Every structure is written in C-alpha cells, then in structure tokens.
Structure 1
C-alpha cells in the first residue's frame, strides 16, 4: 500500500520561494568588487532572481543549457544560483584560480552558453575568449559605471544590471523534475582532464536539509553566516542554499580574504558562524593575535578543505571561545560527508582527549553511509586502528561524471574516495593518507602528475618526481625531486622558471631537491612512499 501524500518535487527554486515568504526581511550583506558594501534583503534577492531568469530566456538560454560563472562570493553570484537553476538551466561555477588551460577545457566541455564574470576577472576572460570555439555571451557582473572595456571579446560584453533593469519579475518558477540537473562543478587535481560532477535539484535540496541539521553545520534563523569558502568551490559547501532554507543572515566577503578585512566584517555584521579552509583562518588568527583583539559575536567556524591542526582548533576554542567543526567532503559528495560534532559523552572528556577527537574528520551526516575496506575488498572493523580505503554512498554522491556516463566510478554501488582512513567505535572517521598522488594545498588540489609531466619536458631533466611535503601555512606544498641528465648543471631557479605559464602560479613547486636516482619497485613503479618518508618534512626543517 502506498502512502497518500502530496507529490511535491524537491527543487532549488523552492528554497528561494520559502526564503521570500517566510524570511523576506532577512539581510544579505556583500563586500563588492567595486569596493563598497551592498545591502538588501531576501525579498530583493527573490525579485532580482526572477528578473534574471527572464533575462536568461531573452539571451536564448534553454532548460538544460549550462551557464558559467567566474565570480567571488556576493549577492549577484547568489542571484545566479537561483535564477539559473530555478529556471531549468544548469549553473556551472568556474574556479578562477585554475590554470587557463583548465578553465578553457571546462567551458568547452560543459558547452557553456553564457559566462558571467566579476569585473576584476576581465584579464582571465580576455585570455580565454579567443580559445573557445563555440560562441559565448559574456556578462560583466556590475553596473554601467564600472563596465570594463570589451577589447578582445568577440561580441562585446553585456552589463548585468542593465539585463536586470530591462526585465521584470513576472516569472513563475517552472515545475521541473527533481532529478533534473541543477548545477555543475568540476573536480581537479586528478590525472587527465577535470571531471564534471552534475548535481540534481533533489540531491541539492537533500544535501541542504542534512547539512543544516544540529549535528551537522547547525544553522538557523538566529545565525549570521559568513561563507569564506568560495561560491565556486562546491557551491560554498551548500551555505547559499542553507541560508534560504533556515532564514539566516548572509555576509559575503567578496575577493578580499585577508585577516583584517574578514575581522572587520565579522565584528560589524555580528557574524555568528563562518566556514573556510585552514589557511584563511591562519591569516585571521594571526591578525587577531597581532592586534590583541577578540571575537564578540562569532561562536563557531566550520573548517574543511584540508586537515585542521589540533593547535588551530585549540587556539580558536581556548583563546577565542569559538567552537570548531572539523568537516570533510568532496566535490563528488556535493560536498559534505562528515562533520566532527561531538557526542554528549565526549564533551566532558579531558581537553587533550577531546581535542584528539576534534582533529578527526568526524561522523557521517544523515544521508551518507561509509565504510573502510582492506586490500582484499572486505570491510574492516571500526576500531580506530584498522585502516583502509574510505568508501561512501548516498543520495548526493556522484553516480557518474558529466558526459562520461559509460565510465562509472563505483565499486559494488560504493564510491571509492581515494582516501585511506580509519573509523572509531563512535563512528568518527580520520583520514590517514591518500591513495592518489595528489597534493592538497590550502584547500586546493594540485596534481603531482601534472607537475612531473611539465618537469620531465625540460631538456636537462632525466627523471622528475613530485611529492607532498608538509607545510606550516598551506598544510602541504609540492616538492620537486629531480635527477639531472649526465653533465647537466641545471639550477633550482631555472627549473622553477620553466613552470611559468604552464601551470597556475599556486601550483608551482616551492622547492627543488636534486637526487641521484629515483627508487623503483620490482615492476618499475616509482616508490613514492620512500621519497615521502625521506622528504615529507622538508619545508618544516629547511
């Protein structure tokens, strides 16, 4: 017997409709690229999103078409979150920090029809425009006063605010299939081309519901949320959706993430909760400490993207009375998988024991199931000692990659994360290593293979190996290990200069170490584990 309940699809537009009707007076504050502060309310967001939905239709954007963004965290970017997805098109957030080759590939692979960009990203847009075969409409996210020159852009540049002004808000969000695609985000750092993860309306709304729960990110209408994690980085971990669902005030930092700028926003806007990667918080803590300041309103911060050190957790909590929620996820998980929210019996533990738990990546949020498997493929016990590959499944875990439907990443209906981890008896997961040779620096993935491929082209390099070496600020940085060709005297500076223009600047190795030979296994495979054991503390001791 079936239940006799209404069938209402789970749609991204429903989050905005709810926010307008029930939290229309709530404020959204944005530090703009133009240099000023912008304020308006959820009801204004909803109205302008409907205007932009009409504008997209006038531009010829059809349901299922991809619409790209090259933008920081701000109110216009949030309008596109809802105008694009809500109208049936697919929001494709692009990471401007990537190398131009990757950005060009993603736009071409996604076949973006329109690309919206913040005005300070004009150099990126000019550099990629001529390299994209398909015609694209470029829209500068500003008003006429700050419109950039359109040199080098075929067809010129449209003005965001003029599109809004030319459209009315008479738009009814379509009744879509909840399994239709809503947004697209490419994962980088693996070998080969980036892979597109295509989220559905259903997966997005379910992820939003679970992420807002008390034992997850614990968000409510009482919160003022500062998403420092970029909106191009897996949808800012879902915070733009969560804020509409619960009615929380939003504060967007724009492009400037230095300690002084963030602290001013936190204090002036009475921020209660924020989220970002450890490197950002390191800068904030350094500023607060140097100025002998304190936090008057912030009560918790979510730290993810890279492992957070126990020292940072302790400083936030013991010095500044800001609770830390350590979290873990992946682009393929929309992204939230675990949050380190303590259980009642752990709160009264001695501080060092409690801190050791908080340094773990945490326990699965509802909707995510996980297990650890050994080399034989069998599940290992949750005993905080047995390690293996971390596998996950759930309604917001990727099923297949965009335009690669014939290649399924699953093993027996579980998604292999590529992380090596262990789980304790309370269900708290801790990542101990990575199966893939990627480097996670400041929350961003860097492919060691890409670095090796560039170095190996140098005429005086015989062999090149790139490993992750621990770093005080960035968690990890690429260290390049080089075997010179016989008779070569190539220098560190020459090799590092060789990377200019070939990889993004932040992907360049920080140092080069010259070695006599690369250790190889019986099958000729490079034994990177030996090199990691020898050099993983290079930056800590140099």
Structure 2
C-alpha cells in the first residue's frame, strides 16, 4: 500500500506571495498603512486598499506589455506606492527590482542594464537622480509617482494607470518563480544581483514573524527605517502583511528627530534599521529625554553592522530594548537573531550584554557552519575562528547571470565573507569581515571589537578601524573617530580606554579625528573610502 492509498500525502499548496495578498484582502483589509511624504505630511490608507490598487496596477502593467518574469525597477522611498508594487509585480508573475537612489549614476546604470529592467517606477522627488542615469538605460516605460507636479513628457502617471487599470485575478504561479531582485552593495567589484523566489520570501516571512525571531503580530505597529530598496526592508513589509500588522512607512526623512516624532505619533511598537540611525537617535534621546512619548515602543531591531555595548546600555536607560540581527542581501536577508536564551534571565548584566552583543542563533530552517584558513570546519567552542557559511530555503544558490560563483561551495553553501566564532549554543559572534581584519605580525586583530569598545567611550559618536601597511608588522590598525558635539578626547585617553580590554600590540597606532565618518548607501561605515584616504595603495 502506498502513501497515496492511505491518504497520507499532503496538498501540494504553492508557497507564493499571492497567498499573502489574498489573506490581507480577506482578513486584514482595514489594517492601517501610514506613509510620510517627502514634504513631511503623513497620509493614511489600508492594507486592503493597497491590495486592491495592486490588482488594478497589475492590470495596467500587463496592458503595457509587462509579462511573466519581467523585472520592473523601482526608484522609491518607503511609501505606500512601493508597498503596492511589492504586491502587484510578484502577484502578476513579474519581478520587483528595487533600486538604491543613493548609489552613483554609474552604478545605477550598470545595475538596470545587468538586470534587464523593462520599466521603472520613480517617485517625483527622485526624478533628478533618475535623469543622471536615464540616458545610459533603455526602459520601455517610465512611470512617475507624482503628487505636486505634472508628469514630464514621455512618462506615464502612476495614479492614472491605476485609475484606468482593470483589476486582475492573480495567475497560478510556481513557488520557485522569481518574485523580487536586489543587488549587493558592490564593496568588492561590481554589484551582483540576487533573485528571490516566491517560496523563499513566503518562508522567510513565516519564520521572521515567529516569537523568538522578530515576533511580528497583528497587534504590532511596525516602522521599517531600513529602506524598502535594501534587501526587501528585511522582509518586514511581507511579514507585516502576513500578520496583519500596522505598517508605518517613513519616506526619505530618517534624521533622528523625524524618526522619533514618527515613533511617538504613530505609537510604533517595533522599528528596524542600521546602527548609524540608532546612534544618532540615542544622542537625541539623551539630549531631550522628555520630548517623545515612546511608551508603546517595545523593541528596536538593529542589523547591518555590529551593535556596540554602549548602544544596548544607552537604550536600556530609556527603557527601550535593542535586538541585534544579522543577515545579507544573499539571505533575503535574515539569518540570525540575538535574544537571551530561555533560562538565562538571572545572568549578570555583563553576561547578558555579552550575549546580546552577539549576532545570535540561526533562524529555524537556516544552517550555519564556519571553516578555518586550512578549510577545516571549526569547533563550536567560541574560540576557533573561521569564515561563516550558510544555507537554507531563502539563501541564494547563485548570483544573477552566473557571476560570483566563487562565493558558493561545491556542496551548496554560501560563503559570507564574515569571520566568526560560534559557541556551544550555536550563537554566532562576528569578529570581522574577512577583508577588514587587521593581520599584524601574523596575528589577527578584529576591527569590529576595537570599534565597539571605542564607541563605548562617552565622548565618541562613531569609530571605524582599518588596516594600514606597516614595514615591520605587515599591517597595523588605525582608528578613525567622530566625537560627540561638545565633547573632547585625546588619542592617549582613547588608547587608555582600550587598554583595559586589549593587549598592547592590538591597540591602534594612530587615531584620526573627523567630523563624521562616511557611510555607504546602506548606512555602513565606508571603509573603502577610509582606506583610500589613509592607506592609499
């Protein structure tokens, strides 16, 4: 007797994003979506309205010739129209390809040519950015989200398309069909495209919403400060839609006061972004602790770079919990989340901060391992060091057009480039990016550890450590430091501050002081620029 004879087989239900859209329409049509415009005005709509407009938008795009697997670029902020495209394009079988407006015109032109984008949707506030790379591309259609100005000649109006579009029924899709596309930051060579399947994004949304992960529920009001053009805004738009949470979309205004105003006004329960955003936000809170009512704010999810202990301690003072997460464009992006394990609530404050400061344990269905310089798998003893490798249902198996094949192992794991230690519980601690480690006299020095401890000094706002060539030792660390307004600190004081945690040979030889440290388009310290300035080849 076979499994089919016993009725033991299960329905082969496809894991497609259309199931999330239809769930929204049936169960959460009235859940609010708040969207702050570039002018600062907050407009309000609902998940149900966004889903309905997505159906009409899909019909209009199909009339324009956008078909299955066609990539369509978006040059938009975190705004309700972007959410509509997150639903419409995968729902109709096309691919949403989000563009980072903070990239250079050359990079943007390369990316849209490499992706083969058929059309582009541009917010009117970004038309200036678009014009800088438009001539190097060949879009069949240019669609403008216009609110205050007329659409330029030769372009289409987003609202007119929706008004004239016929609502579609979503086609039957294969769960392995492409749904979305995002490019890596291109810190080593040209950016590489990562194409996410429906199956990957549905599973990512389900797992991200779990209680011990990001814990997304219908009771949440979620503010993705992380851009929707960066790794699917960490999956929060889809996870929020799946759970029926209230979404708050901040537009381009991400200065600390604007973010804090939005958190207080919208009664946000969870916000997510990179450390540079929260460092600035903490400084504003310290300066005016009574200005904002953040009593609803339950957690701040931080990723993109290691969180210094000083940030945990700073937000704890204000009754706000920071949760560190780790991921990459290639992992859709969540890979691990750092929460205190069950049974460890009675640990000392120092032990808890050490635990929270790690990148955490892999999400369910996501596997991790690490290899040392000899290619051997390292022990999970929190001592051995190796490059992190990962695999799972939302991890890339390759890059668009087959580039970057050396990032994948022969047995199907992705080589992250992160150098880690892993403890007995499986908790990851990232020591550095492989390209950012300082190798001095044959010994490795972690730039991340030095940066985190420097930023625990009360006068330091930001700190980045790079390797500079040295005739005797090969490389030595150099620290680039930004000081908080009104504060002063000397190199000797910083060296003394580090000496309590690091050996003398690990301390930076030089300290350079700057007004602000340059950041990449995704909010990480731009170490390539620092190396070019302080350690030219």
Q: Deviation per CA, 1:456-488: give whole Å up to 9, x if none.
A: xxxxxxxxxxx9995754553879x7xxxxxxx
Rounded Cα–Cα distance in structure 1 between residues aligned with 2:184 and 2:41: 32
Cα deviation, residue 75, structure 1:
0.5
Which residue of 5, 9, 13 corresponds with 1:4? Answer: 9
Rounded Cα–Cα distance in structure 2 between residues aligned with 1:47 and 1:438: 50
Cα deviation, residue 42, structure 1:
1.3
Rounded Cα–Cα distance in structure 2 between residues aligned with 1:205 and 1:41: 21
- The match for 1:435 is 434
Cα deviation, residue 406, structure 1:
8.9
- The match for 1:461 is none
8 A contact 1:307–1:475 mirrored in 2: no
Gaps of at least 5 residues in structure 1 are 151-155, 440-466, 482-517
8 A contact 1:212–1:242 mirrored in 2: yes
Alignment of 1:46-65 (within 5 A): 46-65=51-70
Post-superposition, which runs of at least 4 consecutive aligned residues in structure 1 deviate over 4 A? 467-475, 518-521, 526-537
- Change in 2 beyond 3 A, CA 1:536/1:299: farther
Cα deviation, residue 146, structure 1:
2.7
Cα deviation, residue 408, structure 1:
5.8
Rounded Cα–Cα distance in structure 1 between residues aligned with 2:422 and 2:234: 23
Which residue of 269, 272, 276 corresponds with 1:272? Answer: 269
- The match for 1:263 is 260
Alignment of 1:127-146 (within 5 A): 127-132=132-137, 134-143=138-147, 145-146=148-149
Rounded Cα–Cα distance in structure 2 between residues aligned with 1:433 and 1:29: 37
Cα deviation, residue 187, structure 1:
0.4
Cα deviation, residue 86, structure 1:
0.9
- The match for 1:489 is none
Rounded Cα–Cα distance in structure 2 between residues aligned with 1:337 and 1:9: 23
8 A contact 2:24–2:242 mirrored in 1: yes
- Change in 2 beyond 3 A, CA 1:39/1:16: same
- The match for 2:223 is 226
Q: Deviation per CA, 1:230-287: give whole Å up to 9, x if none.
A: 0001000000000011111000111001122111111111100110011111222222
Which residue of 111, 116, 119 corresponds with 1:111? Answer: 116
Rounded Cα–Cα distance in structure 1 between residues aligned with 2:344 and 2:513: 33
Alignment of 1:448-459 (within 5 A): none
- Change in 2 beyond 3 A, CA 1:368/1:387: same
Which residue of 205, 210, 214 corresponds with 1:208? Answer: 205
Cα deviation, residue 44, structure 1:
0.4
- The match for 1:402 is 400
Q: Deviation per CA, 1:103-160: give whole Å up to 9, x if none.
A: 000000011111111111111111111122x3442111124x433545xxxxx22111
Query: Would you say how many aligned residue pairs link Structure 1 and Structure 2?
Result: 465
Alignment of 1:12-411 (within 5 A): 12-132=17-137, 134-143=138-147, 145-147=148-150, 149-150=152-153, 156-169=154-167, 171-293=168-290, 294-317=293-316, 319-404=317-402, 407=405, 409-411=407-409
Rounded Cα–Cα distance in structure 2 between residues aligned with 1:109 and 1:204: 22
Rounded Cα–Cα distance in structure 2 between residues aligned with 1:114 and 1:121: 16
- The match for 1:498 is none
- Change in 2 beyond 3 A, CA 1:478/1:59: farther
- Change in 2 beyond 3 A, CA 1:200/1:534: same
Rounded Cα–Cα distance in structure 2 between residues aligned with 1:20 and 1:539: 55
Rounded Cα–Cα distance in structure 1 between residues aligned with 2:16 and 2:218: 21
How much is the aligned-residue C-alpha RMSD, in angstroms? Answer: 2.5
8 A contact 2:227–2:233 mirrored in 1: yes
Mean Cα deviation higher: 224-233 or 370-379: 370-379
Cα deviation, residue 61, structure 1:
0.5
Rounded Cα–Cα distance in structure 2 between residues aligned with 1:314 and 1:540: 25
Rounded Cα–Cα distance in structure 2 between residues aligned with 1:37 and 1:20: 23
Cα deviation, residue 421, structure 1:
0.4
8 A contact 1:69–1:116 mirrored in 2: yes
Mean Cα deviation higher: 328-337 or 284-293: 284-293
Cα deviation, residue 356, structure 1:
0.9
User: Equivalent residue of 2:402, what SS?
Assistant: coil
In the superposition, the TM-score normalised over structure 1's length comes to 0.81
Q: Deviation per CA, 1:367-422: give whole Å up to 9, x if none.
A: 11101221222211111111111111111111010011793632132211111100
In the superposition, the TM-score normalised over structure 2's length comes to 0.82
- The match for 2:530 is none
Q: Deviation per CA, 1:44-86: give whole Å up to 9, x if none.
A: 0110000110111111111111100111101000000010111
Cα deviation, residue 20, structure 1:
1.5
Rounded Cα–Cα distance in structure 2 between residues aligned with 1:227 and 1:394: 24
User: Equivalent residue of 1:346, what SS?
Assistant: coil
